[in-house]
Amino acid sequence: MSITNKPSNFDLNTFLRQLPRLPGVYRHLNAEGEVLYVGKARDLKRRVSSYFQKSVNSPRIAQMVKQIAWVETTVTRSEAEALILENNLIKRLQPRYNILFRDDKSYPYLRFSAHEAPRISYFRGNTNQPGSFYGPYPNAWAVRESIQILQRVFRLRSCEDGVYANRSRPCLLHQIRRCSAPCVDLISIEDYQADVKRAKQFLDGDAQGVLAQIEKKMMLASENLAFEQAAIFRDQMKALASILQQQNMESHGNEDVDIIAVIAAGGRVCVNLAMVRGGRHLGDRAFFPSQTQDMSLEQVLEAFISQHYIERPLPPVLVSSHALTDTGVLALLAEQSGMKTRFLTRPQGRHKSWLEQAQTNAELALARVLNDSMSRAARTEALAQELGLETDAEYLEQLHIEGFDISHTAGEATQASCVVYKNHTMQPSLYRRYNIAGITEGDDYAAMRQVLRRRFERVAEGLAALPDIVLIDGGKGQLNIAKAVFADLGLDQSVLVGVAKGEGRKVGLETLFFADERPPVALGIGSAALMLVAEIRDEAHRFAITGMRAKRAKTRNISRLEDIDGVGPKRRQRLLMRFGGLAGVSDASIDDLASVEGISRALAERIYFALR
């Protein structure tokens, strides 16, 4: 965007000498008047001068400096004021060399109207109006999911006021048990308002308090022989307990936390923001900034925090996958908003699990973007180039890759998987599972030897074709087993590629090993070829582990509650009532079990492990 013409008398050296040692904002412009970069500074003279030193470490910055024709500055009263101006200019000018987060939409809320029988609804806009607002939520889906939960558990109305005022009989939502129909007086206003109060209590993070209240009302109704009312409370407990287990919303506190995970792959960066309000995990929103070439993930994080929170209050706790290069950003934001925040990069307990979840969701979101933006054909070609294969379109179309993995639980129910990639996509109809038998439990090498022999004996006999690439998950050890099998069968070993896992199976840390003595290759986090290898490897792992679990479930006798020492008839009844049956008890966590009346922490652990 052109801002102004270059001053005719502009001299860079004179300009730099005259810069004040004050806070402010600077703008680098090219000869056409286009703003290349906007930045803030505590000391304008020192910061702007640093761009024109002889040695610039960043190739990206060096490229920008070559284009700078002149510089404009604006002095501010404080660095916090400079931060505000910087972000306003970045949003308005969209400079080519700034990290840009496009987030023009406001965040949605869940609203309880101010009516006598409050309505729950999706809301986006100014919250300075009648009613109660919960959020903000990271996306519309999260709000609508919460509305469905409140309808399922507390049966609150979601209809428009005009519809509500003119009902003469209950609607379909009442028939499917999603609304208690206050519109036609099937529930008293007092009882409906009590449900609204419990719904708000649930959203505030006190799920256990809500469960205890409902349980108490159910028992009282049962003692008074009001069995129909007791059944309603029972269904509420069952629905709420199920939701807490499935969505991991239960919390031991009442926290407001934001969790930020930053990852990079395939030349793209994803910043995933997860929100926790009142101890409830509300979901995630993924951002894909532009202009991140040659930028560290820490610098991307700093740009996101400064841009995102300049218009939004900081949460009391901020959990991050990376540290900040400049911790002063948080201080500036706190000064601006009047809110201090605790910044955690090595979280423990629940904070750690939330961060791990955010990182997983970031990986999934980035994988989807890469799949959309980068054609599968291009990934296939990239892998073929890395492995020294042909790259013409006809050959790549038929390129046949098979991936193998082994899965078991401490040697139990060992299964091997074979997944197939062909025609630029995974081919589930060609997948195979192999039950492994006759080996020492836990011997992965013997399991790999068995599955490869069973799969490729038919190839050696001329009854099937040899794949172009055979990916072996497990690195050098498993690759040596594959080499021995292929040598014994007289097959070409050059098709064998071992994939050594990186720490935590994270994409970008793997190394490829070859059976024909080629040097190992670490493709790197930005490699399109590695994205394809990782997809095949992870699919083989998923297919193996799901098969193993199914096999284990068939052969293992799950202990019954009656067989657990310390669980008598009353405790058993409370457990089954709380979790809606044995399956729900089996899925419950130790904390879930310990929250039931009469179940100590030690007994909860005993139940938990007995049902595993």
Letter for the amino acid at 368?
A: R
pLDDT value, residue 149:
80
> What value does the mean pLDDT of the chain take?
82
The answer to whether residues 40 and 85 touch, using CB atoms and an 8 Å cutoff, is yes
Asked whether residue 264 carries a pLDDT value surpassing 60, the answer given is yes
The answer to whether residues 202 and 153 touch, using CB atoms and an 8 Å cutoff, is yes
pLDDT value, residue 450:
93
Q: How confident is the model at residue 374 (pLDDT cuts 50, 70, 90)?
A: low
d(CA 15, CA 52): 12
Residues of the chain above pLDDT 70, percent = 87
Give me the phi and psi of 533, to 5 degrees please: -60, -45
d(CA 566, CA 547): 34
pLDDT value, residue 466:
93
The answer to whether residues 248 and 342 touch, using CB atoms and an 8 Å cutoff, is no
The pairing of strands 132-134 and 280-287 is unpaired
pLDDT value, residue 392:
84
Average pLDDT over residues 596-607: 86
For residue 7, with 0-12 CB atoms within 10 Å meaning exposed, 13-18 middle and 19 or more buried, which class applies?
A: exposed
pLDDT value, residue 556:
45
DSSP line for 396-425? HHT--EEEEEEEEETTEEEEEEEEEEETTE
- What domains does the chain contain, in order, with CATH numbers? 12-93 (3.40.1440.10), 109-247 (no CATH), 257-372 (3.30.420.340), 390-554 (3.30.420.340), 561-610 (1.10.150.20)
Q: How confident is the model at residue 148 (pLDDT cuts 50, 70, 90)?
A: confident
Q: How confident is the model at residue 440 (pLDDT cuts 50, 70, 90)?
A: confident
| pLDDT (tens digit per residue) in 318-339 | 999 999 877 778 888 887 777 7
pTM score of the predicted model: 0.50
| Alpha-carbon distances of 300 from 90, 308, 324, rounded to whole Å | 14, 12, 9
The answer to whether residues 523 and 380 touch, using CB atoms and an 8 Å cutoff, is no
DSSP line for 332-389? HHHHHHS---EEESS--HHHHHHHHHHHHHHHHHHHHHHHHHS-HHHHHHHHHHHTT-
Letter for the amino acid at 575?
A: L
Letter for the amino acid at 519?
A: P
Measured at the CA of 341, the angle between CA 340 and CA 347, to 5 degrees, comes to 160
Residues of the chain above pLDDT 90, percent = 21
d(CA 334, CA 39): 19
DSSP line for 494-563? GGEEEEE--GGG-TT--EEEETT-PPPB---TT-HHHHHHHHHHHHHHHHHHHHHHHHHHHHS-PPPGGG
pLDDT value, residue 410:
63
| pLDDT (tens digit per residue) in 443-466 | 889 989 999 999 999 899 888 889
Of the listed ranges 42-46, 338-342, 354-358, the least confidently predicted one is 338-342
Tell the residue number behind the tokens 């923001």, with chain if given: 273
**CB burial string 481-498: b at 16+ within 10 A, e below:** bbbbbbeeeebebebbbb
d(CA 34, CA 40): 18
